[in-house]
């Protein structure tokens, strides 16, 4: 029987160690070290080194587990367990010296997320949860907000950076949501958007065309903090589709109706 809490505590230490390396490198990083994986999709030795550190450490915790990792350090597939890793979520922020980036590590057992850790490096804030637990920030329990409608809510989102095929609809969605809430924010790191929703700083978050490593840990943390998540069709395929809506559970119906109306079942 897996002790998910003990496993989560070990993952926290691994995330913090990688975060310490990232934080140190951020002070001396040069833009000459940037590589491009695709349009506006950047990576550096910092992402790659941090991922290698994380993969090596996690391999010792669950030797049979596989990896779904952004930089492809390991493509091992596990039968029961698979780690889902973003070693540096918010690479563009990191490169430009904007202090909003995080280490994100999740563990999936078969089709269920059972551990989630997001360590926001510059804020020294570690958000985490495990199967059947509460959600926590630096040892303190967190909960989603109590706001009951968009009119009293602060909403987070992300902008597409390479897939612009749905941009017109998405801009229409921005316009509609902005007119119905306190404000719309874009931090530039999906994992941070999600854990901020989990602890009540945001009341909801939505974005499309994300990868599993962007959102896996955040999904579990939001859920265990009392929130909920769904895809743009209102279903439970966010991790697979990359279309994500995470909320405090109270504004879900209102936000889902707006998304459904704007995309007209095209999601």
Cα 51 from Cα 41, distance rounded (Å): 17
Residue 214 among known ligand-binding residues: yes
Residue 86 among known ligand-binding residues: yes
pLDDT at 167: 78
pLDDT at 31: 67
CATH 3.30.540.10 placement within the chain: 4-142
Among 68-72, 83-87, 131-135, the minimum mean pLDDT is found in 68-72
- pLDDT above 80 (res 33): no
> Token pair for residue 22?
């990232």
- Model confidence over 183-206: pLDDT tens digits? 999 999 999 999 999 999 999 999
Residue 88 among known ligand-binding residues: yes
Cα 259 from Cα 89, distance rounded (Å): 25
- pLDDT above 80 (res 223): yes
Given a contact cutoff of 8 angstroms between Cβ atoms, the answer to whether 178 and 227 are in contact is: no
- pLDDT above 60 (res 6): yes
Domain at 4-142, CATH class: alpha beta
Given a contact cutoff of 8 angstroms between Cβ atoms, the answer to whether 212 and 84 are in contact is: yes
Predicted confidence band of residue 266 (pLDDT cuts 50, 70, 90): low
CATH 3.40.190.80 placement within the chain: 150-263
- Model confidence over 78-124: pLDDT tens digits? 999 999 999 999 988 998 899 999 999 999 999 999 999 999 999 99
Report CA-CA distances (Å) from 195 to 103, 104, 159: 12, 11, 18
Cα 23 from Cα 29, distance rounded (Å): 10
Residue in 153, 237, 256, 159 with CA at minimum distance from that of residue 197:
153
- pLDDT above 80 (res 163): no
Residue 89 among known ligand-binding residues: yes
Given a contact cutoff of 8 angstroms between Cβ atoms, the answer to whether 101 and 94 are in contact is: yes
Residue 70 among known ligand-binding residues: yes
- pLDDT above 90 (res 34): no
- pLDDT above 90 (res 45): no
Is 150-263 a domain of CATH 3.40.50.720? Answer: no
């Amino acid at each position: 029987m897996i002790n998910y809490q003990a496993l989560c505590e070990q993952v926290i230490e691994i995330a913090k160690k990688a975060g310490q390396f990232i934080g140190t490198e951020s002070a001396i990083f040069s833009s000459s070290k940037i590589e491009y994986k695709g349009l506006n999709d950047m990576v550096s030795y910092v992402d790659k080194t941090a991922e290698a550190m994380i993969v090596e450490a996690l391999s010792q915790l669950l030797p049979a587990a596989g990896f779904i990792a952004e930089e492809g350090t390991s493509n091992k597939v596990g039968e029961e367990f698979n780690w889902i890793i973003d070693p540096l979520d918010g690479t563009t922020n990191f490169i430009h010296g904007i202090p909003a980036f995080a280490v994100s590590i999740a563990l999936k057992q078969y089709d269920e997320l059972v551990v989630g850790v997001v360590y926001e490096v510059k804020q020294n804030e570690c958000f985490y949860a495990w199967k059947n637990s509460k959600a926590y920030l630096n040892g303190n329990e967190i909960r989603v907000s109590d706001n009951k409608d968009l009119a009293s809510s602060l909403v987070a989102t992300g902008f597409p950076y390479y897939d612009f095929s749905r941009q017109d609809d998405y801009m229409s969605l921005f316009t509609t949501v902005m007119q119905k809430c306190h404000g719309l924010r874009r931090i530039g790191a999906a994992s941070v958007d999600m854990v901020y929703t989990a602890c009540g700083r945001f009341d909801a978050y939505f974005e499309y065309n994300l990868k599993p490593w962007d959102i896996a840990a955040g999904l579990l943390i939001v859920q265990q903090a009392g929130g909920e998540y769904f895809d743009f069709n209102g279903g439970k395929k966010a991790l697979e589709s990359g279309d994500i809506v995470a909320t405090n559970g109270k504004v879900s119906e209102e936000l889902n109706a707006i998304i459904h109306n704007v995309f007209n079942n095209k999601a």
